[in-house]
Amino acid sequence: MSGSGGSRVTGQVLVAGGTGVVGREVARELGARGHHVRVCARRPGGDGITADVTRPETLKGICDGVDVVVSTVGGSLDIRKVRDRTSYDSIDNLGNQALLAEAERAGVRRFVYVSVFSTPKLRRLEYVAAHVRFEEALRESRLEWGVVRPTGVFAFFLEVLSMARRGRAVVLGDGSARTNPVHEADVAAAVADAVAAEGGVVETDIGGPDALTRREIAETAFRVVGREPRITGTPPGALRAAAALFLPMNPRLSALLRFGTEVSLGDAVAPALGTRRLEDYFAEKRSPVPG
Ligand SMILES: NC(=O)c1ccc[n+]([C@@H]2O[C@H](COP(=O)([O-])OP(=O)(O)OC[C@H]3O[C@@H](n4cnc5c(N)ncnc54)[C@H](OP(=O)(O)O)[C@@H]3O)[C@@H](O)[C@H]2O)c1
């Protein structure tokens, strides 16, 4: 990324979802560029604003005095948070629509949304479709808007590094599907550029500099931890069956499994706007975090 973008420093920016993987970087980047940043989430910590986008009554007034809203709010893809059964549509689409309505009511000038890079095949999945539905609502709104669509961010691939540390990695299918993961800080720079852009519409699809097969991503992790690569391909059938099984009792988990499976099996390569490299990121995170 250029990292400079427009030079205009706006008034207050509200980063909804600013405690998440992407949102934290966005808040940091905007602060570094001189914006006055507030963060909101359900558990914001510090002087952040507590709000739940699925409960519109908690959003009242949170955009008052705000010039630009950035939303990185989304249902987590972390399987450890599986107890949250709220659907992706309720959070990513309807929740962000509630936030957008509050932003419009408060006279916010611009709304920048972190969506997801996808292919036509992926757009049929609930997780991706929820993002697309909200993009449509944003397009219809009265506000100036921007959308940034990243491929998988580096943090999402740390599980591959953990597997390499343990000595064996699993890839779905034959591991030949290619993608170019992107550093969350490069995404944040694109978001900050979209915040600073004068008027009009900004749409940025963003991936990292290296398009790698899933197998190459695993090999990168093994190289970084200095172990001989032991990579097993596993057929996707069991995960697809699990997704179908969970659909009636836990549709959120089902949607997560479907996305996790299908995104690993097809190519998804976005414009290589990010400059930071996955191998360097893995090297920084080589040692497990204590505790
Ligand atoms: N991770 C990736 O590889 C990736 C790739 C492409 C696109 N994206 C998209 O980028 C966006 C951010 O992803 P991320 O990885 O940063 O997600 P994340 O780490 O799970 O962060 C999500 C943020 O949203 C907040 N949030 C969740 N539910 C909420 C609710 N009901 N009301 C208010 N806030 C809520 C979370 O805080 P609380 O839990 O405290 O509320 C957190 O701050 C999502 O739309 C995601 O789909 C992610």
CA of 49 to the centre of ligand 1 (A): 16
The predicted structure's pLDDT at residue 6: 46
Q: Over the stretch 87-141, which tens digit does the pLDDT of each residue have?
A: 999 999 999 999 999 999 999 999 999 999 999 999 999 999 999 999 999 999 9
Q: Over the stretch 135-167, which tens digit does the pLDDT of each residue have?
A: 999 999 999 999 999 999 999 999 999 999 999
- Ligand 1 contacts CB of residue 190 (under 6 A): no
- Ligand 1 contacts CB of residue 5 (under 6 A): no
Alpha-carbon Rg for the chain in angstroms: 19
Rounded mean pLDDT of 261-288? 96
* Whole-angstrom distance, CA of residue 51 vs CA of residue 63: 11
Q: What is the DSSP letter of 79?
A: G
Q: Pick the residue whose CA is nearest to atom 8 on ligand 1.
A: 116
From 14, 15, 19, 184, the mutation candidate for ligand 1 (largest count of ligand atoms within 8 A of CB) is 19
CATH of the domain at 173: 3.40.50.720
Task: Assign 246 a pLDDT band (cuts: 50, 70, 90).
Answer: very high
Which of helix, strand or coil describes residue 35? coil
Q: Over the stretch 60-94, which tens digit does the pLDDT of each residue have?
A: 999 999 999 999 999 999 988 878 899 999 999 99
Is 7 within the bounds of a domain? no
pLDDT of residue 14 exceeding 80: yes
- Ligand 1 contacts CB of residue 208 (under 6 A): no
pLDDT of residue 4 exceeding 50: no
The predicted structure's pLDDT at residue 290: 66
Rounded mean pLDDT of 210-222? 98
Q: Which domain holds residue 254?
A: 12-283
Is 289 within the bounds of a domain? no
- Average pLDDT score over the chain: 94
* Whole-angstrom distance, CA of residue 209 vs CA of residue 271: 9
Is 6 within the bounds of a domain? no
From 15, 19, 22, 79, the mutation candidate for ligand 1 (largest count of ligand atoms within 8 A of CB) is 22
Please give the tally of structural domains in the chain: 1
Which atom of ligand 1 is found nearest the CA of 91? 31
